[in-house]
Amino acid sequence: MAKNTAKKSIKKVVLAYSGGLDTSVILKWLGDNYNCEVITFTADIGQGEEVEPARQKALKLGIKKQNIFIEDLREEFIEDFVFPMFRANAIYEGEYLLGTSIARPLITKRLVEIAQKTGADAISHGATGKGNDQVRFELGAYALNPNIKVIAPWREWDLNSREKLLKYAESAGIKIEKSKNKSPYSMDANLLHISYEGQILENPNAEPEESMWRWTTSPLKAPDKAEEITIEFKNGDGVAINGKKLSPADFWAKLNALGGKHGVGRLDLVENRYVGMKSRGCYETPGGTIYLKAHRTIESLTLDREEAHLKDALIPKYAELIYNGYWFSPEREALQSLIDKTQERVNGVVRLKLYKGNVIITGRESKNSLFNAAYSTFEEDSVYNQADAEGFIKLNALRFIIAGKATGKAQGDSNKKAKAKDSKDSKKDKKSKKKK
């Protein structure tokens, strides 16, 4: 009864719509089951596919022209989400560059904003009840609007097989287009990465097919000659490649092309989903792989030691917050403020080579460099007194010295114990000889 009442209260819903089979079925299903007006939102975040066809599909499925929203969010995606994340050098479980995770907050933000603009009661998404995306969409939505309602069809309907989906699509008059180039894998793509799940990848021991990879040349077939490039940073963000200033989206597209050409950025990973299960996925993140190494390189030159070490200690927590869907949480925002403060001096140019899947650093320079050859040289210098190191070492060793004396680890104490033992053993030997 409560569910039926909730359905009746939904008059208008904003659907995250890709134009594919699943979200087209959801579009019709929402109308059939909630008897509500449906608004579609399609975002271009650099997935490499045309988004305009989604408009025509929505129109054919009965959506009013004014209820179709299609937006190019590529610049906002890189500038307001990807760049801030890379300022933190965020990486999940030591390997994953969070390509899918970081796209969800932006999509959620626009869903909620469009709902507010159009007076919609709810938003809807096509994430399944087994994955992380349902959590990311919904945590973000409630953080932005605690009164928003969320409809997650995969948790409600009984269309839990491909056969049932196709049958429903046929009965609803949804045209099923078959593409010769369509991948058999479950894929997610944006300007940062492309991911692959399902099919043979559900066996963690099965090697991915070479034909699966779409963005990167196999490192085995990549050019035999290394390509040297430069990346310029300003306040922790990339602003130019090979001396050419680029917009955030163009910057990332260029890095992807360079990395893909040289086989950089492939990853085969078994990860821990937030919902509790393990999953195996493959990722291509060519630009991100290059960028992370370059960013850490310029930081190594410009950040104070303790500042850098504090940042590194925060990486697992920050990455986990993004992976689990807490982009809009107060703790992520607090961490971001700290991280962004550290980036004020992260300016300069990194020089590197790309070669058969490798990113090789060849140089770095910055006006904010903390590297001082006068102090670090192996040659004779006039600014550093090496004798000062003795006091530094003794002060840092003081707690070990005190603890050692307290526990009898001191060399003198050890010698006394050894002599006492030898004396005791000697007395035993004499007594033994007398008895004989």
Nearest to 96 by CA among 329, 279, 252, 221: 279
Q: How many degrees, rounded to 5, is the angle at CA 58 between CA 57 and CA 62?
A: 115
Cα atoms found within 13 Å of the Cα of residue 150, Cβ hemisphere only: 23
What residues are paired with 40 via a beta bridge?
Answer: 15, 68
| SS3 state of residue 340 | helix
Residues designated as active site: 22, 104, 133, 186
Find the radius of gyration of the CA atoms of the chain. 30
Distance CA(260)–CA(254), nearest Å, equals: 10
Instruction: Indicate if the alpha-carbon torsion angle 354, 356, 359, 361 is positive or negative.
Output: negative
Distance CA(118)–CA(401), nearest Å, equals: 71
**What are the residues whose beta carbons fall under 8 Å from the beta carbon of 121, sequence distance 6 or more?**
9, 10, 11, 12, 13, 36, 115, 149
Pairing of β 194-197 and β 278-284 = antiparallel
